Amino acid sequence: MAEPRTVLLAHGGGGRLMHELLAELLPLLSPTAAPPSVLNDAAVLEVEGCRLAFTTDSFVVTPAFFPGGDIGRLAVCGTVNDLAMVGARPVALSLGLVIEEGLPRETLERVLRSVAAAGAEAGVGVATGDTKVVERGAADGLFINTAGLGVVPAGVTLSGDAVQPGDAVLINGTIGDHGLAVLAARQQLGLRGGLTSDCAPLNSLVEALLAAAGPHLHCLRDPTRGGVAATLHEVAGQSGVAVQLEEAALPVAAPVQGACATLGLDPLYVANEGKALVFVAAEGAAAALEAMRAHPLGREAVEIGRVLPRTDDLTAVTMRTALGVVRVVDMPRGELLPRIC
Amino acid sequence: MAEPRTVLLAHGGGGRLMHELLAELLPLLSPTAAPPSVLNDAAVLEVEGCRLAFTTDSFVVTPAFFPGGDIGRLAVCGTVNDLAMVGARPVALSLGLVIEEGLPRETLERVLRSVAAAGAEAGVGVATGDTKVVERGAADGLFINTAGLGVVPAGVTLSGDAVQPGDAVLINGTIGDHGLAVLAARQQLGLRGGLTSDCAPLNSLVEALLAAAGPHLHCLRDPTRGGVAATLHEVAGQSGVAVQLEEAALPVAAPVQGACATLGLDPLYVANEGKALVFVAAEGAAAALEAMRAHPLGREAVEIGRVLPRTDDLTAVTMRTALGVVRVVDMPRGELLPRIC
């Protein structure tokens, strides 16, 4: 296949194509230095003796309102969670709005109220912002960018390259809820009933995790675009390990299960916005699970797999099915569900 | 006139309508606390004993390439300059791309090279980023958001509410260059010849200013959307003072003068991307001018006006013309030149 000479929708999907695009483009951004070998959810910087976390995300979700959230809540949670995944306490958010001319003022106000409410939930406010308006047809309603600034506590180093064979892989609840809730809100699909986004700020859950199992934690990741499957592939690649999931342990809510069956989707590839994959040394797993289960956002926390030594590139992520068969979990190629965040 | 119930292009213009929109929306973002009374170009935060500056800007300029710059250079300079305007040294940038499906890869690569080059010029790199792709027609080619993190040196407090009667108002060169260069690049207008954006990172100029006249500096502002006129109105309002410009002192390049005459535009209202308005106590003005003139980006620095006590709302910004008549310089209402940044 000839290399595509334009950017495709699939390049934004969190899968193989996006990683290939980034691998090609990142060296352009740092022509004199090596690009970072490990892309975590947030960069950690030493600034004047402070350990700061810094991250950014743009949000283009359509529709802007969906069961369990909206673009404003998503913009806060997405960035707060990226900070939380490196163990950082969020300190400030920026808010950049790109508005299509003609957007109802009421919509904008509703989104900003939602930004404020989600910020209050996470204990972080918007410190700086920007508003741009483009003419009708030059954007789709409203795009939001948030950047986040956080403080990483002393001694905390969570990273995609720190995962080790033997680590337990935990998650704080059911998978696939967000992507399917957004899909359901696109009314033409006619999906109904019980699909609700898990969109939530995870910083207090991560604080509890750090307190309970800090020294045993190796890596946290929020499985957004590309879902659990893409995120496990990223981490497995960065740490040079393999991950084996237990199918029977994967928590999937019944409405998600049903919708996935109807649509031919696999919840492993569907985005989450209130979930963390926790890679923790086996001896810390019980304490980590206990801490998560004691938190409102982690009541259904479970161990879903184990980290194994890497034996072969093709088996970086596998799953033992209910029948005991081990099957390969592929890295998704491109966009499964466009514009879910 | 009934209040518009939708967002208008004019709401993004840096003028009166944008300020009205922000005055209405900002309280929604901080429902429990008073919104900041003074909006500077960057927020200054005390974090773990560090004084940090934090700012964000989205860039939707069309066309993406214009004489003297492009959307990538603009995205770096705009954010670096917002940091510089509070006296901060830039430490890290974030880069959020929203790409319309079908964007040529070559365009994207050219923009990223430009981001890298402008970053190298300013001495700051991209620490974290995000890429979203939306379907054809849902965005216009490429939008970029940059957020910036900086360190404010001890003792430096530059703010829009610190300007005092008697202060000199300086600028580091000609006005209106950026807006007209972008306009000229829109070929249907048939403008040609000599119009070049002033787009440049001002952090080293500001460093020189702080070294030469630090204790005398009260406020720095980069006059982008809405131009010098809108920025002076903002500062005059925040400090409760008036500003009187000297028309004869205003530096306007001949091609800008000519294009403005042709189009019926006033360069006072046209955006700049490499200019700083410097409000400095009279006794520091000579040192500040000297420091700027010794810098490549300040060779044409001049004093363009003085700060006066406020006597009447209607005369917050005035200009003494070449004929000695004092005329009112209005706050622009809305969008003069849409999408110039």
Q: CATH no. for residue B111?
A: 3.30.1330.10
Phi-psi region of B339 (alpha: psi -120 to 50; beta: other; left: phi over 0): left
pLDDT at B14: 81
Report CB contact under 8 Å: A9, B101: yes
pLDDT at A191: 66
pLDDT at A338: 84
pLDDT tens profile B88-121: 999 999 999 999 999 999 999 999 999 999 999 9
Q: How many CB atoms lie within 10 A of CB A220?
A: 27
Residue type, A246: E
| A199 closest CA partner among A224, A220, A219 | A224
Report CB contact under 8 Å: B42, A125: no
The answer to whether residue B337 sits within a structural domain is: no
Report CB contact under 8 Å: A94, B22: no
Domain that holds residue B20: 5-151
What are B204's two structure tokens?
């080293």
- What band does B334 get if pLDDT is binned at 50, 70 and 90? confident
- Reported pTM: 0.95
The nearest CA of chain A is from the CA of B152 a distance in Å of 11
The nearest CA of chain B is from the CA of A47 a distance in Å of 8
pLDDT at B30: 80
Lowest-pLDDT range, A244-253, B2-11, B27-36?
B27-36
What are A326's two structure tokens?
């081990």
| A336 closest CA partner among A229, A199, A222, A188 | A229
pLDDT at B314 over 60: no
Q: Which residues contact B129 (CB under 8 A, 6 or more apart)?
A: A29, A56, B94, B95, B96, B97
Phi-psi region of B5 (alpha: psi -120 to 50; beta: other; left: phi over 0): alpha
Q: Show the low-confidence residues of chain A (pLDDT under 50).
A: none
Q: Which residues contact B285 (CB under 8 A, 6 or more apart)?
A: B168, B170, B213, B216, B303
The answer to whether residue B82 sits within a structural domain is: yes
The answer to whether residue A81 sits within a structural domain is: yes
Question: In chain B, which residue's Cα lies nearest the Cα of A125?
Answer: B30
pLDDT at A34: 61
pLDDT at A18: 87
Question: In chain A, which residue's Cα lies nearest the Cα of B78?
Answer: A130
Are A214 and A237 members of one domain? yes
A133 vs B11, B22, B106: nearest CB: B11
Are B196 and B319 members of one domain? yes
Question: Cα separations (Å) of B65 from B141, B143, B184?
Answer: 12, 13, 11
The answer to whether residue B281 sits within a structural domain is: yes
Report CB contact under 8 Å: A31, B115: no
Mean pLDDT of B4-26: 86
Report CB contact under 8 Å: B95, A338: no
Q: Give how many domains chain A has, as a whole number.
A: 2
Chain B residues with beta carbon closer than 8 angstroms to that of A5? 104-106
- What band does B193 get if pLDDT is binned at 50, 70 and 90? confident
What are A287's two structure tokens?
């304490």
CB distance A191 to A184 below 8 Å? yes
For residue B315, what is the domain's CATH number? 3.90.650.10
Q: How many CB atoms lie within 10 A of CB B192?
A: 10
Question: In chain B, which residue's Cα lies nearest the Cα of A139?
Answer: B139
CB distance A180 to A192 below 8 Å? no
Chain B residues with beta carbon closer than 8 angstroms to that of A112? 25, 28-29
Report CB contact under 8 Å: A151, B48: yes
pLDDT at B188 over 70: no
pLDDT tens profile B264-303: 999 999 999 999 999 999 999 999 999 999 999 999 999 9
The answer to whether residue B266 sits within a structural domain is: yes
Report CB contact under 8 Å: A48, B151: yes
Q: How many CB atoms lie within 10 A of CB A46?
A: 10
Tell me how far apart the alpha carbons of residues B120 and B113 are, in angstroms, rounded to a whole number.
11
Tell me how far apart the alpha carbons of residues B181 and B65 are, in angstroms, rounded to a whole number.
10
The answer to whether residue A338 sits within a structural domain is: no
DSSP label at residue B268: G
Chain A residues with beta carbon closer than 8 angstroms to that of B31? 113, 116
* % chain B with pLDDT above 70: 94
Tell me how far apart the alpha carbons of residues B161 and B24 are, in angstroms, rounded to a whole number.
21
Are A194 and A324 members of one domain? yes
Are B189 and B311 members of one domain? yes
pLDDT tens profile A188-206: 666 667 899 999 999 999 9
pLDDT at A3: 58
**Interface mutation target, options B3, B24, B54, chain A, most CBs of A under 10 Å:** B54
Are B94 and B47 members of one domain? yes
Report CB contact under 8 Å: A7, B99: yes
pLDDT tens profile A46-68: 999 999 999 999 999 999 999 99
Last residue of a domain, one of A120, A151, A182: A151
Report CB contact under 8 Å: B116, A31: yes
CB distance B11 to B334 below 8 Å? yes
pLDDT at B36: 65
